[in-house]
Structure 1
Amino acid sequence: MTRTLRNIGIMAHVDAGKTTLTERILLDTGKIHQAGDVHTGNTETDSHALEKKHGITISAAAISCEWRDAFITIIDTPGHVDFQIEVERSLRVLDGAIAVFSAVSGVEPQSETVWRQADRLGVPRLCFVNKMDQVGADLQRTVEMIADRLGATPLVLQLPLRGEDGFAGVVDLVAMKALYWDGAQPQPSAGAIPEELRSAAERQRQRLLETLADQDAAIMAAYVGGETISAADLKAAIRRACLAGRLTPVLCGSAYRNVGVHPLLDAIVDYAPGPEDRPAVAGLDPRSGAAEHRLPRADQPFAALVSKVQASRFGTLAFVRVYAGRVTAGTSVTNATSDRTERIGRLLRMQADAQIEIDEARAGDVVAVVGLKSVVAGDTLSDPAHPIVLDGFVIPEPVIEAVVEPRLGQDQERLGQALALMARSDPSLRVVVDADSGQTLLRGMGELHLQIAVERLKEDYNVDAVIGAPEVAYRAAASRPSEVDHTLRKQSGGPGQMARVRLAFAPLEEGGEGLVFVDETVGGAIPREFIPSIEKALRQSLRDGGPGGYPVLGQQVTLLDGAFHQKDSSGLAFELATREAFRIGFERAAPILLEPVMRVVVTTPEDYLGGIIGDLQSRRGRIVATEPIPRGQEVIAEVPLARLFNYVSALRSLSQGRAVHAMAFSRYAPAPIGVAEKLIATA
C-alpha cells in the first residue's frame, strides 16, 4: 500500500464552484488541456445531458489525476439538497473531502448539511474559500462562519493578496512567502510578502502556531521552548491534526481564474488522509454475527462496499470502494449482504463518463465493476471464505410525491421497468403503486428531484411521461408505548393456519427512522425459522400501516412471546398474524401524523425584511434567527414543506426579485391536529 493514494470528495452548497474547481484541478494536473465551463455545458464531470441543460451536478462523478507523487481520485458531488444521497454515499467510501465555500456567501444551508454528513461519517476535511475575486469576498467572515455554524476549528493557512486588478494571489503562512498568479499560467510565482501585509501575516502566523500548539505536543514543546519551527514540522503537525479531525485547514482562491489551485493540490497531498490513515473498516460476520475488522491492506481478505449501481452504455455498473484485499477480473466473490455469489466481469477506472479498463483493484481503490447481476447500493462484496457485511449509508426518507403516468398507454410496462432501474440507482427515489387507484407514485427529496427523474425517463429510457402536482409525503409515528397479544387461527378443512405473537411497541427517539426489531423470545416459543417472517411483516407494515395508510417513519417493536402449532404454523401464518398485530398495536400507540419541516434561509436587502418575515410566519414558519450580512439580512426559519410550494414566486414578488432563498430538509414534526384530521379523512 502506498501512502500517496488520495480519495477525495468535493462538497458544497449549489453554485459555490465545486465543478469549476474540479475542472481547474484536472487542467493543472494535465488530465485535460482546456477547462470546461458549467454555463456552456462542457465540463468533464457534468457529462449527462440533463446536467448540461440545468447547469447543475445531478450525479456524483469520479475522475482521477496525479499530482507530485500522489494518485488522486476526485468525486464531484451535487450541491443541491434534492440529491443529498449522492453526497452521502460518496462520503461513505471516500477518505477525505474538500469543503468549498463562496467567499461572498460564506456558509450556506447545504454547506451545513453536507458538513454534518461528513461529521457523522468521520471524514477529515480541507476548506477552500472560493470566489475571492468577487465583490464582497471576505475570508475572515467565512472563517468565522465555519467556526460558528459548523462547530469546526479552522486553521487559516493563507491570506489573500490584493493587486491592481483585485485578487492577485495568496500569502502562504506555512512557508511565509507570497504567491502570485499573472493569469497566463496556472502555476504561481513566489516572492516576498508585501511590506503592507507583513504585520498582518506575522499576526496570523502567530495565531496558526498557537492553534497548532493547543492540539500538538511537539509544536507546543517547540513553541514554549522558543525553538524555530520549520515549515516541514508545521506541515507534519497540520497533517496530524487534520487526520484526527481536531483542526480543519483553510485555503483560499478563485477557481474560475485558476488562482490558488496549485496550493490546494499540494494541501491534498500534504494533509489529506490516504486509505492507510483511516481506521480499519468494521463489519459483521453474516454467519455468526460476530464483529469483524479489515485493515486497508492488499494482504487482507477481500472486502468492498457497493456505493452505487447505474445503467450505462458499458452495461450495468456497480461503483465499489475496495477496503481490503485485492480482486481481479473473472474472480468470484460473495455478496455477503444477500448471500449470493457474483462474478467480477470487468474492472474499470471511471473518468466521468469515460472508462479505463484495469486488471486489478486493491485496497483503497474506488472503481466500477461490470458483470454483477443482483447487487444494490449498500451491499458488501467479500472473499467467499471470509464473508463480512460492512455498514452501508443513511438513505434519506422522501418528503414529496407525485403521480407519474406515461403519455401513451402502451408505455405503462416500459415506465415501470425504467422507474425500477432508476430507483435501483437512486435509493432516495421511491416508486409505489397505490393499492386503491393503481396509480404509480414517485417519491423523492424535492420538486427538482422529481422533475429530473421524469426528464431522465425521456432522455435515458425513451419513455415520455407526465407528472402530477407534487404532494407532501407525510409520515406517521407512535406517540406512546403499547402492547398486543394476537393469535391467528384459521381452519378450512385442510391444513390450517396458526400463529401467536406478543409484541411491544415503543416510539423511537426524535430523528429515528425505520424498524428497530428486538427478539426477546426464549425457550423456543417461536421456532427460529419463523422470526424472519415476523420481521418481514413488520417492515411491510411500516410502509402503509399508519392512519390513512400513511407510511410509519420509525418504530421499535419487541417480540416478547408467541406460540406455534407443529402442523398448522408457517412463515405465511406468522406474517399474517404480525400484520394484524401491528395494526392493533399501532392504533393503541396513539399514532400522530408527521409533516416534513424545511430549514429555509432567505437573503434579502434590509428594505424587504419585515414583509419576508411576515410571509414566512403566515406559512406556519418559525423564525430561528435573523443575522446582518453585507448589503442585507439573512433570515433563518423552519417552515412546513406543505406551505412552501410556489415560494419562489412569492419571494420574488415580495422583494422585487432581489431576495434569494435556499432550503433543506430539517426534520419531521407533528402536523397540527386540524391538518392531520383532514388528511386522514381524505386519504
Structure 2
Amino acid sequence: MDFITKQLKNVTIAGHGQAGKTRLAEQLLYVAGVITKPESVESGKTVSDYTAEEIERHISIYASLSHLVWKDKKLNFWDAPGSSDFVGEVISAFRSSEMALMLLDGRNGVQIETIKLWRDLDRRNKPRLVFINRLEEERSIAETIPQDLREKFSCEPCSVSIPMGKGDSYEGVIDVIKGKAFFVPADGEKEKEADIPEKYMAAFEEARGILAGAAAEGDDDLFVKFIDEGELTQEEIIHGLTIALENNRIVPVFAGSVVKNSGLVSLLDFIADIAPSPENALEKLKGDADEDAMTIKISPEGNLTALVVKSSSDQFSGRLSYLKIVTGTLNADSEVFNLADGRKEKIGKLYTSVGKKLIEVKKLVAGDIGIAAKLPNAKTSDTLSSVQNVKPLIKLRHPEPVFSMAVSAKEKKEEDKMNELLNRFSEEDRTLSFQYNAETKQNVLSGMGELHINILLDKVRSTAKITIDTAVPRVAYRETIQRKAQAEYTHKKQSGGHGQ
C-alpha cells in the first residue's frame, strides 16, 4: 500500500529507563496486527531490542524503527533508549519525528531523563504526548502526574483517556473524545468499545470539559463558542486539538497499562486522527557564514532532499543508512548527490523496517523514514539530493563526549583491526570519538559514559575476538619541574610599634 505525505505520522517513544518503552512498541505492533504475539523484554524476543548486546542486558541501546498501519495511516515509531549514555540515538529519532510520545512510569512520575528529554523537545519546539503506564500497580500515583507536569514544565496537560480504578481494581480506560470505555481485555484479546459505567460518569464529564477547553485554544471560533456555550461537539474537539497540538500549545495525556494491553486503542486513534503529519513541517538548511539558517517545508514537490539521520551495520545487508525524506521522492535504483563531498551515491534497494526485519519498497515519499543499503560514502548528518548546487540540511547536533578511556589491543598484530572497528563505530555513532593522542602515545576512546564505552568494547571483543586492554588516559602536562634549584630570600617582620 502506497502512502502520501499527509498520511504519514512519525513518532519517537522516549522516556526514562525502565518505563516500558520497548514493551509499548511491542504492544502497539500487536494491536495493529503487525505481529501475532507480543514478547517481553526479558524473553529477548522483542521487535525493537534485537541486537546481542540489548538481549544480554535487557535494555535498549539503539533507536529501533518500526511501522504499522492504523486507520489508513502509516505510523512510524522509533523506540529510543532511556539511558543518557545513548542520547545520540534519541537525537536521531527526535530529528526525524514530528512528535514525541513521552512514557512515564505511573509509580514514579516525572524522572530525571524525562526532564532532560522534555527540555530537548522544548528547544526543538516539538509537540508531545504523555502516556502514563503501569496503572495496574498498587503504587501508582497516576492521578497526581498531570499536576506534576504542569508545575515542572509550565505546560497545559489535558487528559484524552482517564483510568477506571488503579492497582488491583484497575478496569481499563475511558476515551474522553469518544465517550466510550475500553475495559482490560482478556489474555490474547484486544480492547473493545463499551459504555461508560455510571460510577465513572462524573469523572468523564469533568475530563470532557477540560479537554474541550484545551481544544478551544486551537481555534478562535471554537474559543468563542466554548465561552458562550461551555461545550464542543466531538468533531469540534478533534479539529481544535489538531491545531493546538500542531502548534505545541497543549500536552495530551493518556493512561493505561502496557502489559495488560490497555489504553492503546485510544492512543493509536489519537495519533492517526490528530497527531501532526510531516506535511509542511519545517526543516533548516545550512546558511553561509554571514547569513542565518534558512527553512524548507517538507513537501512531495520539488527536487529530492533527504537527511541521513542514522547509520548502522547489518550482518546480511551491510551498511544501512536511515533516511528522512524532506522534499521530493527517493526511488530505488537511482543516483543522488551527497552534498557533504559532492560525490554521487548509487541508490540500490530501499526498505522500510519493523525492527530488524527489512521490507523492500520501490520509493520513499516526502516525510517518510526508510533505509538505503550499502551506500559507500554516506554518513550520519549527510544530505542527499537529486541536484548538486543546493544548500545542505543542518546537521544533527550531537553532544561532546564526556568520558574517556585509553585502549590498546593486547596483541600488537590486532591493533589495526581494533582501530578499524572503533573508527567505523565512531562514524555510526557521532557521540563517540576515537583518536590517537600523539603527546601521550595512546589511543583514546571517548563517549557519553562508562556504560556506553564498555558496551562498545564488549561488542568489539565478541565480534572480532580481540583482547582489549583499557586504562585511564594519561595527561600531557605542558609544564613540569626539570631540575633542582636554590634561592635565598630575606623575611622581614615588624614586631614593635610605629617606625620600628
Query: Aligned residue for 1:305?
Result: 307
C-alpha spacing 1:43/1:436, structure 2 compared with 1 (3 Å)? same
- Given the superposition, is the C-alpha separation of residues 164 and 449 from structure 1 closer, same or farther in structure 2, using an over 3 Å criterion? closer
- Counterpart amino acid of 1:183? A
| Structure 1 position 383, deviation (Å) | 2.0
Which residue pairs with 2:498 in the alignment? none
Identity of aligned residues (%): 26
> Which residue is equivalent to 1:89?
92
Q: 1:23 to 1:399 in 2, by over 3 A?
A: same
- Picking from 205, 209, 217, the partner of 1:206 is 209
Q: Is the 8 A contact 1:310 1:425 kept in 2?
A: yes
Match of 2:268 among 251, 259, 265: 265
Amino acid at match of 1:325: G
Tell me how far 1:141 sits from its aligned partner: 1.6
In the TM superposition, 1:72-151 aligns within 5 A as 72-151=75-154
In structure 2, relative to structure 1, the CA distance for the partners of 1:384 and 1:75 (3 Å cut) is same
**Which residue, out of 197, 202, 219, partners 1:194?**
197
Change (3 A) 1:163 1:285: closer
**SS of 1:275 mapped into structure 2:** coil
CA contact 1:292–1:388 (8 Å) conserved in 2: no
Instruction: State the Cα distance separating 1:195 from its structure 2 match.
Output: 2.7
Question: Offset at 1:338?
Answer: 2.4
Distance 2:201 2:251 in 1: 24
SS at match of 1:26: helix
Q: Distance in 2 between matches of 1:409 and 1:446?
A: 27
- In the alignment, the residues of structure 2 paired with residue 118 and residue 228 of structure 1 have an alpha-carbon distance, to the nearest angstrom, of 31
CA apart distance, 1:231:
1.1
When normalised by structure 1's length, the TM-score is: 0.66
- Give the distance between the partners of 2:463 and 2:288, measured in 1 at CA: 37
Q: Does 1:321 align with 2:331?
A: no
Task: Single out whichever of 127-136 and 457-466 deviates more from structure 2.
Answer: 457-466
1:188: Cα distance to partner?
2.4
Which residue matches 1:425? 428
Q: Which amino acid aligns with 1:307?
A: V
One-letter amino acid of the structure 2 residue matched with residue 166 of structure 1? S
Show the counterpart of 1:398.
Answer: 401
Q: CA RMSD in A?
A: 2.4
Q: Pick one of 269, 275, 285 that aligns with 1:283.
A: 285
2:494 aligned partner: none
- 8 A contact 2:66–2:354 mirrored in 1: yes
How far 1:335 moved relative to its partner? 1.4
How far off is 1:469 after superposition? 4.9
Could you say if the C-alpha distance between residues 168 and 407 of structure 1 is closer, same or farther in structure 2, counting changes exceeding 3 Å?
farther
Deviations 1:21-52 (A, max 9, x none): 00001111111111111112110110000000
Q: 1:162 to 1:185 in 2, by over 3 A?
A: farther
State the one-letter code of the partner of 1:301.
N
User: Is 1:161 equivalent to 2:164 in the alignment?
Assistant: yes
Distance 1:215 1:359, change over 3 A: closer
Whether the aligned pair in 2 keeps the contact of 1:9 and 1:97 (CA below 8 Å) is yes
Q: Secondary structure at the match of 1:225?
A: helix
1:107 aligned partner, one-letter code:
V
1:336 match: 339
Q: What residue number does 2:180 align with?
A: 177
Distance 1:12 1:186, change over 3 A: farther
Give the Å deviation of 1:243.
Answer: 0.8
- Counterpart AA for 1:59: Y
| Structure-1 residue corresponding to 2:374 | 371
TM-score (norm: length of structure 2): 0.89
Partner of 2:445: 442
Q: Which amino acid counterpart does residue 236 of structure 2 have in structure 1?
A: D
1:507-656 to structure 2, matched below 5 A, reads none
Deviations 1:433-482 (A, max 9, x none): 121332211111111011111111123444332333589xx9xxxxxxxx
Distance 1:301 1:102, change over 3 A: same
Partner of residue 358 from structure 1, selected from 353, 361, 371: 361
Query: What residue number does 2:459 align with?
Result: 456
Amino acid at match of 1:105: N
* Distance (whole Å) between structure 1 residues aligned to residue 161 and residue 87 of structure 2: 30
8 Å CA contact retained: 1:126, 1:272 = no
Counterpart Cα distance in 2 of 1:164 and 1:148 = 25
Match of 1:37 in 2: 40
| Equivalent residue for 1:22, pick from 20, 25, 49 | 25
The structure with the greater share of residues assigned to strand is 1
1: CA distance, partners of 2:291 / 2:352: 33
> Cα deviation per residue 1:269-308 (whole Å; 9 max; x = unaligned)?
12211111523x2314779979655432323111011111
Secondary structure at the counterpart of residue 374 of structure 1: coil
Q: What's the CA shift for 1:134?
A: 0.9
Q: Which residue number corresponds to residue 497 of structure 2?
A: none
Aligned amino acid, residue 187 of structure 1: K
Matched residue SS, 1:389: coil
Structure 2 match to 1:381 = 384
CA contact 1:294–1:301 (8 Å) conserved in 2: no
- 2:470 is the alignment partner of 1:467: yes
Q: Deviations over 1:72-127 (max 9, x none)?
A: 11110000010011101110111211110111110111111111222222221111
Alpha-carbon distance between aligned partners in 2 of 1:144 and 1:136, rounded to the nearest angstrom: 18
CA contact (8 A) 1:310 1:424 kept: no
Q: 1:152 to 1:464 in 2, by over 3 A?
A: farther
Deviation at 1:196, TM superposition (A): 2.6
Q: What is the aligned residue count?
A: 475
Q: Provide closer, same or farther for how the CA distance between residues 246 and 392 of structure 1 changes in structure 2, counting only shifts above 3 A.
A: same
